[in-house]
Amino acid sequence: MMSFETTWGSEGAFSPLMTALIAVFAVILIGTIGRALYVWFRNNRSPQETADARVITKRTKVTGHGGHAGVRNAAGMNTFSSSTYTRYFVTFELDNGKRLEFSVKDPEYGMLAEGDRGRLSWQGTRYLGFERV
């Protein structure tokens, strides 16, 4: 039987490998939070803009993973479990030809159709809304 010391070394849980893994995790976490805060503050400092626009295209991005097929539930039936997350994106074209893509919420995504014309409102990279005309 292996002891804890044999597995991790004489330093125990704070071996050089564990310290390096914790440091890498901390750097990634701090970097992710820092980037999110930077984008949030930059958007807040940006002016709110509104312009005539047309919906050019819509797309989704699904992330996550599937579970195990063939798992039996309490009723004895095979089930499939998965854990996914879907992000929704819409690309708009302004009257001057400039294209902007924004992440939108699911209900908004469902209400927009390619070719819709209206007034697009945004602030930095933050989508504020679209009113059809």
| Total Cβ atoms within 10 A of residue 127 | 19
Model pTM above 0.75: no
Dist CA 21 CA 54 (whole Å): 48
What is the identity of the amino acid at 109? Answer: Y
| Calculated CA dihedral for residues 72, 77, 78, 84, nearest 10 degrees | -90
pLDDT tens per residue across span 95-116 = 999 999 999 999 999 999 999 9
Q: Does domain 47-133 have CATH number 2.40.50.660?
A: yes
pLDDT of 60 reads 97
**The two three-digit tokens of residue 29, written as one number:** 């976490």
**The two three-digit tokens of residue 33, written as one number:** 């939070």
Domain extents in the chain: 1-45, 47-133
pLDDT tens per residue across span 114-126 = 999 999 999 999 9
